Amino acid sequence: MKIYVNEVEMTIFNGARVIDAANRFINEFELYEKLRRLSVRDVNRNKISLDGELHEGDQIFLD
């Protein structure tokens, strides 16, 4: 399924969680320092847990 992390389109497996998308983004762009204090928000700027479930088209933002 397609999702968006920090406005970058990424393909990830169906049933992925926020942590999986964050891991994919961090590994893709080698932003490993983000792992130290990972905080994720949705498109409405609400905080979301790392084990939150993602769906096709979801947009998340790593702070």
Partner 1 sequence: MKRHFLFFLCLALLCSCQGNHNDGNAKSDFKSDSNLEKEIVILSVNDMHSSIDMFPKFAALVDSLRNVYPDMLVFSAGDNRTGNPVNDQYNPVNFPMISLMNKVGFDLSAVGNHEWDAGTDNLQQNIKQADFPFVCANVTQKDGLNLDIKPYVMLENQGVKIAVVGMIEVRHDGIPGAHPSNLTQVSFKKAIDAMPEYQYLREQCDVMIVLSHLGFEDDVEVAQATPYLDVILGGHTHTLVEFPTEHNGVLVTQAGSHLKYATLTKIKVKDGKVTGKEAITLDVKAFRKSDKEVKAMVDGFNDSPTLNESIGKALTKFDNPEELGCFMTDAIREVSGADFAFQNTGGVRVNYLKAGPITVKDIYTIDPFGNEIVVFEMTGQQVKNFIVDTYRKNGGYPSYVSGMTYEMQTNGKLSAYVTTNSGRFSTKETYKVAMNSYMASTVRFESLDDGQSQYMTSEEMMIEFLRRHKTVDYQGIRRTK
CB of 38 to partner 1, least distance (A): 13
The pair of structure tokens assigned to 56 is: 């096709």
**Interacting residue ranges for partner 1, rule: CB under 8 A:** 1, 11-21, 23-24, 27-28, 42-44, 46-49, 51-56, 58
| Least gap, CB of 1 to partner 1 (angstroms) | 6
Nearer to partner 1, 52 or 62 (CB): 52
The 3-state DSSP class for residue 24 equals helix
For the beta carbon of residue 36, count every other beta carbon within 10 angstroms: 6
Residue whose CB is less far from partner 1, 15 or 63: 15
> Strand, helix or coil at 21?
helix
Q: Return d(Cα 43, Cα 59) in angstroms, integer.
A: 6
